[in-house]
Chains A and B, each alone.
Chain A
Amino acid sequence: MATLQIKQVVKRFDDTEVLKGIDLEVNDREFVVFVGPSGCGKSTLLRIIAGLESATTGDLLIDGERINEVGPADRGLAMVFQSYALYPHMTVEDNMGFSLRLAGVGKQARREKVLEAARILQLEPLLDRKPKALSGGQRQRVAIGRAIVRNPSIFLFDEPLSNLDAALRVQMRIELARLHEELDATMIYVTHDQIEAMTMADKIVVLQGGEVEQVGSPMELYHHPCNRFVAGFIGSPKMNFLPVTAQAVSTSGVRVALPGGGTSEVAVNGEGAQAGDALELGIRPEHLLLDDQGPLSGQIKVIERLGGQTSLYVEMDDGIITITADGDVTYRVNEQVNFGFEPSRAHLFDGQGLALASLQRHPLSGLVRQDSRERVENSRERPEGGA
């Protein structure tokens, strides 16, 4: 179907550089998620791909052909907007068939295509309604339907779930994943919500300040974040960071002095690090273990019980640390706790915030979602739509 290459794309608005030279490849049938805090440039990048903005410099290629000068409608893309951007004066059917009408497709053929998309999305009973008479979730589906009807080579989604309530968001997430299977299409999805990124993506692109921080599968980003920003951004609750000092560097890893007197050897490549360096130790809340013999300690300030698990907010000298513990722990507020961690689960970051590379790759970190890998390998031909 379609691959997309982005080469050295820069976008400048007046004097501010919103995108600072983006390089990226999107493979055929891949579900790629652009994630980052607001203002990171992810929406601008998507709009450049869509053709709604033009890149200041750099190239865009679809299936190897430069499309910078091609108009948005002729790129073979379809976009689902954050606001859905349904045409309020048209019925659902007319909304979905508008692109075909503009392309001069006959009434009958138009209706068939719309009906097919409506069937996939279970929109049949709503075809005669106007957008005003639809619920948020239904509008969302119409917007997706409008994209499906165009039979695009790449689907673009601009934060499509951010206007839905929490329950509906979970449901639509599942539906989108199902749709990706069913349509077998390349999808690019923008969100600021890392959970959406983790649950749906084959490949996540983390952006910040107009630059790509890291590209990788969800598990790769989770287990091997390349810097402090990605480490903090991916995963919930956020990773904890503790200031530590390097004590010894060896081939088996870096031994660091923990606050409170203990030491621990983290299995990372210590090249470039020296004893005495100030480093930061990163540990996810779920990887901290409550242990009376543990090298770390602090006072519990807040306890959040979610039933299945408990979040403990523990005050140490260097700030508050979050620990995710079992749902049945019996601690109380103001209690003193000791805790530790498995060194293989810890991360080390240098003075610039860059991660020291792990010596062992996590077994899941190379994993693209099983099904999509099979798909790529089988590489079966998708029957051409009759557009």
Chain B
Amino acid sequence: MKRYARSVLAVVAVLALLIGGAGISGMPTAAQGSGSLTVLDWAGFDDEQFWIDFKNAHPDVDVTFEMGASDADILAKMMAGSQADVFHPYTGWLQFYVEEGLVEELDTSRLANWDKVPERFKELGQFDGKQYFVPYDWGYSSVLYRTDLAPEAGDSWDAMFDPAYSGHISMWDDGVAAVDVASQVLGLDELNLTEEELDKIQQLWIDQRELNLFYWSGEPELVEAMASGDVWVAYAWQGAYALLRAQGVPVAYANPEEGRHSWVGYYGIRAGTENLDNAYAFLDGKLAEETARNVVETFYYGSANQDVMASIDDPELIDVLAIDDPTVLDRTFFSPAISAEQRDAWAEMWVDVKAS
């Protein structure tokens, strides 16, 4: 028995050493320095370059990232009681945090870089006249197509439903985006959809499924498939466009006659956070020069810092973000603020499309 116990002990000791070493380095050192900060963010944004100004100003703060896979995922985690101090929703989802009392009202005088934000972006983060969110990144959703394989695809969202491209279309795997696009194609008012109209939208996508090769969920998946020639026409953000162009793949990013869609990413502070000062500093850091520039140069996203945007002289970036086209914004739809009922109904509609 003794010897057996000893060998068990030995195993346990080795184990403790093994994971212990990892655990100690993995343990948040919340007690020391100037505190900690937990950020609930999309994968990719945990990279240091997207909060480098905050890091440089507050090297002692222990920053932890929680990952969200989608707007719905981030909202679900916040509603389930996530202790993240700062979180990153996009337009169309902001109002839920206000309605559920999950977000702290902001005192913009605590943000040194606030005057660099264009008025339009500020407004989208306001509810009942109060500022709740700070904008960081923005971009487009439109039709991306291979000019050699589908040269005629460019004028309309209809290309996503065109049997001529059967087996070579790829839609983003997202219910809200699906309703956005379908409402435009069918000429419906998406904020006042009747049940019959939503059924019509569902049927449109069920029919489209026969033409659709796959629903993409990560950009690399789409980029590889378009580079290989499997996908000719896709719902895409401008990042995929920029990357494919840089690789010499013949692609164009449409200006559909119905207009482009646009989205803006915001950061909010969780109501009741214990790390309020760090949270403000983090949000302010998001607007600072280097952090703003990195998101433009790495992801080909727009930044909410207008000084940074004005200083961009790379013609590639100017073209991709349509910075030089004053009319593009007039033909751009910012994702509207939907209600919780719409959100759930649309998400369910999309699951049903895939299940049918």
Task: Decide if A and B are genuine partners.
Answer: no
Spell out A's residues near B (CB within 8 Å).
none
List chain B positions with a Cβ less than 8 A from chain A. none
